[in-house]
């Protein structure tokens, strides 16, 4: 039930909040409703669709306001901005509440769904509805369908919406956090409303402006670095001759002879970082298997990538709006294509421009050719996705131009980058930090994209953000170099005989064949650690089902086959930060049976699993690199 202003204020006072009250002139516009289980008040603020007034209409911008929970004085307001573009910020409320949990006793938190996402009139564009393909043509058709509204969902307008909400709430200066595209939003906010900022955190950042930025000059270099670094730090991969990308390049040469589409599928897997953990963990081992005549591991990864890069939800646009993503990308980002031209002329000129750039810049997307790179889904290529979008509207210039027109504010800024992030690379984080006079750039070792939220590989980023918001300084960054290394997959094996045996421990009575079976059984369970989103099938047969969620997740294995000649059943329990345990029973092709209990700690590639069990009636005690 919608509450009156007086009732909502009473609710906050009963909760002990010392929140500053919204201004009298604006509070009547707020529509506040108690919501959720965290003391939130959900609200809406009416905003003009077109701030220039040329296009009539308005939008109700949805937000969640979490007043400070403690009885003491309120110290400030925290604001978080989600990435994408296209994802609603409130869809990640649990992540932001976890990040800021220690500060919420004396800080308010505001989460706003950008216009065109979530509760703020999520854009639902018929040409982009699944199962229609996401293509240059359907993206352009969406822009045509939006018509005069196409440029009205840009980042600048969204930052003005946030400013209006903060003013209505009487928030004063805020500490603004953005992740991924949220860093672009946060920087545009900083340029348009610098007086509102106390501090800025950019997590997974890229610059608003910069030389050659439209060509994504760091994309391929960061992708190559990611796989080579991860391999060099893995006991399964480091001893091998040559670099990881050399092997992946050899696979690419094979795929070029198999089909025209296969190279682009491999590019989607490597550049798209999707599924992120599985791709990084298995790419090298899958490449080696493919080169040795076993195509199944790589084929599985590429098939998973094809699904994972599809952000659209067949159930609707509440969780993600592809139309909003297209509108922001085509209106706000720097473009290779000349967006002032009509689409037909733009694409013709763009083809010439790209050919010239490939000739002059060399293999910018190596080991892939430009044509193979352009074969990826358009929202991962970026270069051409706006080829059919309506021509730019001079009344709504792209947001990146603000960097040419206005000074970046001299507020404290913390920029976080993941060493293994190829989506927003450390080089791009450094370029973003360079725009600010008081910025500190921290690169977290062995880390990927976005590092202050619960899905990160360590809690280092979150601790740095909390300390920065509290003190406006970055003093102790030692944790950034201590993030555990990534555990890569062992070599894929069709048969148990090709698996390296586990190392016997004192008290072991099992022979080498049994130690191979135990290793293969644990690897069979470990293969699922990168596949915990949904039930599925094993690499070479069998099934697994997932029960529970988060810390209480359990995976049931039923005759799962990672090797062709070993069926593994039982239960896998993934733990926090890479820890886990398993209870397994297995049978080999020759009828040998065994039972196994395994456990392993959190940590990196040097973590060791302990195996206890019986194989063919003999006691087994052994160790193995943790899965």
Coil/strand/helix, residue 192: helix
Give the sign of the dihedral formed by CA 71, CA 72, CA 77, CA 82.
Answer: negative
* Residues 208 and 406 sit within 8 Å (Cβ to Cβ): no
- Return the bridge partners of 574, or none: 580
In angstroms, the CA 114 to CA 123 distance is 11
- Residue 546: its pLDDT value, please? 95
The distance from CA 162 to its chain's CA centroid, rounded to whole angstroms, is 23
* Predicted confidence (pLDDT) per residue in 421-465, tens digit: 999 999 999 999 999 999 999 999 999 999 999 989 999 999 999
Coil/strand/helix, residue 399: helix
Looking at the chain, the number of H-run helices and the number of E-run strands are 19, 18
**Percent of residues, the chain, with pLDDT higher than 70:** 95
- Residue 21: its pLDDT value, please? 54
Q: How confident is the model at residue 22 (pLDDT cuts 50, 70, 90)?
A: low
C-beta neighbour count of 627 within 10 angstroms: 25
- Residue 28: its pLDDT value, please? 55
Q: Are strands 618-625 and 608-615 parallel, antiparallel or unpaired?
A: antiparallel
Coil/strand/helix, residue 65: strand
Q: Compute, in degrees rounded to 10, the torsion defined by CA atoms 345, 350, 356, 357.
A: 160
Q: How confident is the model at residue 554 (pLDDT cuts 50, 70, 90)?
A: very high
More confident site: 8 or 627: 627
* Side-chain half-sphere exposure of 387, counting CA atoms within 13 A: 21
* Predicted confidence (pLDDT) per residue in 181-236, tens digit: 999 999 999 999 999 999 999 999 999 999 889 999 999 999 999 999 999 999 99
Question: Which one, of 406, 433, 427, 415, lies nearest residue 213 by Cα?
Answer: 427
* Predicted confidence (pLDDT) per residue in 164-175, tens digit: 999 999 999 999
- Residue 33: its pLDDT value, please? 87
* Residues 349 and 336 sit within 8 Å (Cβ to Cβ): no
C-beta neighbour count of 15 within 10 angstroms: 14
- Average pLDDT, stretch 93-120? 97
Residue 258, token pair as written in the block: 């198999």
- Average pLDDT, stretch 515-544? 96
* Residues 369 and 410 sit within 8 Å (Cβ to Cβ): no
Rg (Cα) of the chain, in Å, rounded?
Answer: 26
Residue 435 makes CB contacts below 8 A (sequence gap 6+) with: 187, 207, 208, 403, 408
C-beta neighbour count of 482 within 10 angstroms: 12
Average pLDDT, the chain: 93
- Residue 27: its pLDDT value, please? 52
In angstroms, the CA 36 to CA 351 distance is 50
* Predicted confidence (pLDDT) per residue in 292-306, tens digit: 999 999 999 999 999
- Residue 6: its pLDDT value, please? 35
**DSSP E strands, 422-465:** 439-444
Q: Residue 510 pLDDT > 70, yes or no?
A: yes
- Residue 289: its pLDDT value, please? 98
C-beta neighbour count of 35 within 10 angstroms: 14
Greatest C-alpha distance within the chain: 82
Q: Residue 275 pLDDT > 60, yes or no?
A: yes
Q: Phi and psi dihedrals of 74, rounded to 5? A: -80, 135
- Residue 112: its pLDDT value, please? 98
Write the DSSP symbol of residue 172: -
Question: Which one, of 627, 512, 494, 613, lies nearest residue 573 by Cα?
Answer: 627
Q: Residue 16 pLDDT > 80, yes or no?
A: no
* Predicted confidence (pLDDT) per residue in 84-102, tens digit: 999 999 999 999 999 999 9
Write the DSSP symbol of residue 77: E
- Average pLDDT, stretch 355-383? 89
In angstroms, the CA 463 to CA 371 distance is 43
* Predicted confidence (pLDDT) per residue in 225-235, tens digit: 999 999 999 99
In the sheet that holds 413-418, the strands lie side by side as 33-35, 40-48, 58-66, 107-112, 76-81, 174-179, 197-203, 413-418, 439-444
Is the omega angle on the peptide bond into residue 85 within 30 degrees of 0, that is, cis? yes
Residue 241 makes CB contacts below 8 A (sequence gap 6+) with: none
H helix or E strand, kind and range, residue 478: none
The pTM score is: 0.94
* Predicted confidence (pLDDT) per residue in 308-327, tens digit: 999 898 889 999 999 999 99
So where are the chain's domains? 500-625
Write the DSSP symbol of residue 445: T
């Amino acid at each position: 039930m919608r509450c009156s202003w007086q009732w909502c204020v009473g609710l906050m006072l009963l909760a002990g909040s010392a929140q500053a009250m919204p201004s009298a002139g604006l509070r009547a516009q707020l529509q506040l409703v108690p919501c959720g289980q965290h003391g939130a008040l959900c609200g809406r603020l009416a905003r003009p669709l077109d701030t220039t007034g040329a296009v009539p209409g308005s939008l109700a911008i949805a937000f969640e306001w979490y007043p400070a929970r403690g009885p003491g004085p309120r110290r400030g307001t925290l604001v978080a901005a989600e990435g994408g573009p296209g994802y609603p910020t409130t869809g990640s409320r649990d992540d932001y509440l976890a990040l800021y949990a220690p500060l919420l006793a004396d800080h308010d938190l505001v989460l706003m769904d950008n216009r065109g996402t979530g509760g703020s009139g999520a854009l639902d564009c018929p040409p982009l509805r699944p199962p229609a393909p996401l293509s240059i043509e359907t993206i352009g058709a969406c822009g045509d369908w939006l018509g005069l509204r196409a440029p009205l969902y840009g980042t600048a307008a969204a930052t003005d919406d946030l400013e209006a909400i903060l003013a209505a709430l009487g928030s004063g200066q805020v500490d603004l956090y953005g992740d991924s595209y949220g860093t672009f939003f946060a920087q545009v906010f900083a340029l348009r409303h610098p007086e509102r900022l106390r501090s800025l955190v950019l997590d997974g950042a890229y610059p608003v402006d910069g030389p050659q930025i439209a060509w994504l000059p760091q994309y391929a270099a960061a992708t190559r670095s990611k796989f080579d670094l991860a391999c060099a730090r893995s006991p399964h991969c480091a001893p091998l001759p040559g670099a990881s990308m050399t092997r992946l390049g050899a696979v690419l040469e094979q795929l070029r002879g198999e089909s025209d589409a296969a190279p682009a599928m491999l590019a989607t897997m490597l550049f798209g970082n999707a599924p992120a953990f599985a791709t990084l963990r298995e790419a090298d081992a899958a490449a080696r298997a493919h080169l040795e005549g076993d195509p199944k591991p790589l084929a599985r990864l590429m098939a998973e990538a094809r699904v994972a890069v599809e952000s659209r939800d067949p159930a609707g646009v509440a969780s993600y709006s592809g139309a909003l993503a297209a509108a922001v990308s085509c209106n706000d980002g720097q473009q290779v294509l000349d967006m002032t031209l009509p689409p037909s002329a733009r694409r013709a000129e763009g083809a010439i421009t790209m050919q010239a750039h490939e000739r002059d810049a060399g293999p910018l997307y190596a080991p892939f050719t430009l044509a193979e790179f352009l074969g990826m889904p358009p929202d991962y290529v970026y270069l051409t996705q706006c080829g059919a979008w309506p021509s730019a509207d001079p009344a709504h210039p792209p947001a990146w131009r603000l960097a040419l027109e206005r000074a970046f504010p001299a507020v404290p800024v913390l920029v976080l980058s993941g060493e293994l992030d190829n989506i927003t690379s450390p080089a791009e984080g450094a370029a973003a930090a360079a725009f600010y006079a008081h910025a500190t750039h921290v690169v977290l070792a062995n880390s990927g994209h976005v590092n202050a939220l619960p899905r990160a590989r360590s809690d280092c980023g979150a601790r740095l953000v909390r300390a920065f918001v509290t003190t406006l300084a970055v003093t102790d960054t030692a944790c950034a170099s201590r993030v555990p290394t990534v555990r890569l997959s062992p070599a894929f094996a069709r048969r148990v005989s090709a698996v390296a045996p586990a190392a016997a421990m004192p008290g072991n009575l099992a022979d080498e064949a049994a130690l191979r079976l135990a290793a293969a059984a644990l690897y069979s369970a470990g293969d699922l650690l990168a596949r915990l989103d949904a039930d599925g099938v094993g690499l070479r047969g069998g099934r697994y089902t997932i029960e529970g969620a988060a810390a209480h997740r359990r995976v049931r294995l039923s005759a799962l086959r990672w090797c062709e000649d070993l069926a593994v059943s039982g239960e896998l329990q993934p733990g926090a930060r890479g820890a886990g345990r398993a209870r397994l029973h297995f049978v080999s092709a020759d009828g040998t049976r065994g039972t196994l209990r395994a456990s392993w700690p959190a940590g990196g590639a040097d973590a060791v699993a302990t195996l206890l069990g019986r194989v063919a009636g003999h006691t087994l005690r052994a160790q193995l690199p943790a899965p």
